[in-house]
Amino acid sequence: MRHVLLWMARSRFLKRWLPRIWFVRRATRRFMPGETMEEALDAAEAFRERGIGILFTHLGENLADLSQAQAVADHYRDLLDKIAARGLDAEISVKPTQLGLDLDRAATLTHLANLARQAAEGNRLLWLDMEGSAYTDATLDLYRSLKESQPNVGICLQAYLRRTPADVHALLPLKPAIRLVKGAYDEHASVAFRRKGEVSAAFQSLCVLMLPYAARGELRLGLGTHDTALIERVAEYAAGAGMGKEAFEVEMLYGIRADQQLRLAGEGYRVLTLIAYGEAWYPWYMRRLAERPANVWFALRQVFG
Ligand code: FDA
């Protein structure tokens, strides 16, 4: 089921036609508050009193032409202005291919540097999402280039990739901000662990590797996972090694395990909810279904209910 859903996420035909069907759009509401920036900003307000921070992502990836990248950059600039105007505890997270990485690396870097500068004015980070493994090297290169002039940038790394421990070691001297996730794409066994247990074990050992740096303030570490058992194991390890709850933060998606987000925030962990919005939700939404095929039945109930 997971592979079929990930194949559907890549299908150009389905990407073109499925989002036009209104009841398919309705089913996405579980994971996104709406398609517009205002709907996303309004949804973020509710998290303020719960002490939960926000990451915003305007959905989109793999542009057909470079002029679209300028529109995406303008959108994020407007978003940063509105975050500041509302005084939200929020940062933004972008996909490099949404800013033209497939088409022009230099232009992508310029857009990212401009956004990072604007984010820095509000004391916020600009995060780079990590896409399929064909983009790992290019995304890491972008991150290193950005870091030369902008300290306030973070990057997502995927625990399922066999290369990630080496990437972490290479990034540590830069005092990076790293969001560790399990990984959402359909990768070949030669580059990625494919069994759940292996991925969780890789995630945990990467945390063990990074936590001492985080505890010394040389790394901002985000655990981008809804796997609360895994978070508990990492928390136990950190506490056993004498580290405080501020050594790492927990990042989860809007609409997933909201009760656990509240619980962790109540227990004193820094929690961030990622709110994704926008019209180009199709591949992103399909990856969410693939993560938990039970979601397909939920979606079908929405469609027919
Ligand atoms: P796992 O899939 O094992 O789920 C643990 C439990 O969480 C499940 O049993 C279920 O209860 C719940 N759960 C998880 N996913 C769910 C879903 N879709 N619907 C309902 N319940 C669900 N990936 C990537 O490749 N590049 C990226 O840049 C990012 N960015 C990112 C940011 C943030 C803040 C998060 C939380 C995740 C990402 N991801 C990502 C996605 C990530 O790689 C991974 O696919 C998902 O987080 C699902 O894996 P879990 O770690 O949650 O564990």
- Report residue 105 as tokens: 């690396």
Q: How far is the CA of 251 from the centre of ligand 1 (A)?
A: 10
Is 288's pLDDT higher than 90? Answer: no
Determine which one of 179, 220, 270, 288 is catalytic. 179
Closest ligand 1 atom to 158 CA: 25
> What's residue 87's pLDDT?
96
Annotated domain spans of the chain: 33-280
* Res 207 pLDDT > 80: yes
* Ligand 1 neighbours (beta carbon < 6 A): 129-130, 156, 158, 181-185, 224-227, 251-253, 256-257, 274, 288, 291-292, 295
The angle that helices 136-149 and 105-121 make with each other, rounded to 10 degrees, is 50
pLDDT digits (tens, 9 = 90+) for 146-158: 999 999 999 999 9
Ligand 1 atom at minimal distance to the Cα of residue 222? 34
Give the distance (Å) from ligand 1 centre to CA of residue 121.
Answer: 30
Note the pLDDT of residue 76: 98
Which protein residue has the closest C-alpha to ligand 1 atom 13? 226
Give percent of the chain above pLDDT 70.
95
pLDDT (average), residues 244-272: 96
| Lowest mean pLDDT, pick from 66-80, 99-113, 280-294 | 280-294
Percentage of the chain modeled with pLDDT above 90: 76
Closest CA to 83 of 96, 74, 92: 92
Determine the atom of ligand 1 nearest the C-alpha atom of 182: 43
Q: Are 86 and 47 in contact (CB under 8 A)?
A: no
Atom of ligand 1 nearest to the CA of 55: 34
Of residues 107, 90, 221, the one with CA closest to residue 154: 221
Mutate to test the pocket of ligand 1, among 182, 223, 260 (most ligand atoms within 8 A of CB): 182
pLDDT at 93: 98
Let me know if domain 33-280 sits in CATH 3.60.150.10. no
Active-site entry in 102, 129, 167, 186: 129
User: pLDDT band for position 22 (50/70/90)?
Assistant: low
> Ligand 1, residues 291, 295, 296: which to mutate, most atoms within 8 A of Cβ?
291
- Cα–Cα nearest to 55, from 157, 142, 179: 179
With a cut of 80, say whether residue 171 has pLDDT above it: yes
Measure 184 CA to ligand 1 centroid, in angstroms.
7
Tell which atom from ligand 1 comes closest to the C-alpha of 291: 18
pLDDT at 290: 84
> Can you give the pLDDT at residue 155?
98
Q: Lowest-pLDDT range, 24-38, 41-55, 90-104, 149-163?
A: 24-38
pLDDT band at 302 (very low <50, low <70, confident <90, very high): low
The beta strands (E) that lie in the chain are given as: 53-58, 90-94, 126-128, 153-158, 177-181, 220-224, 249-253, 270-277
- Confidence tier at 144 by pLDDT (50, 70, 90): very high
Residue nearest to atom 3 of ligand 1 (CA): 227
Q: Give the pLDDT score at 137.
A: 98
Give 226 Cα–ligand 1 centroid separation in angstroms: 6
- Catalytic-residue membership of 179: yes
What band does 23 get if pLDDT is binned at 50, 70 and 90? Answer: low
pLDDT in tens, 112-141: 999 999 999 999 999 999 999 999 999 999
291 C-alpha vs ligand 1 centroid, how far in Å? 7
pLDDT band at 2 (very low <50, low <70, confident <90, very high): confident
Q: How far apart are CA 143 and CA 207, in angstroms?
A: 20
Active site residue 129: yes
In this prediction, residue 64 has a pLDDT band, given cuts at 50, 70 and 90, of confident
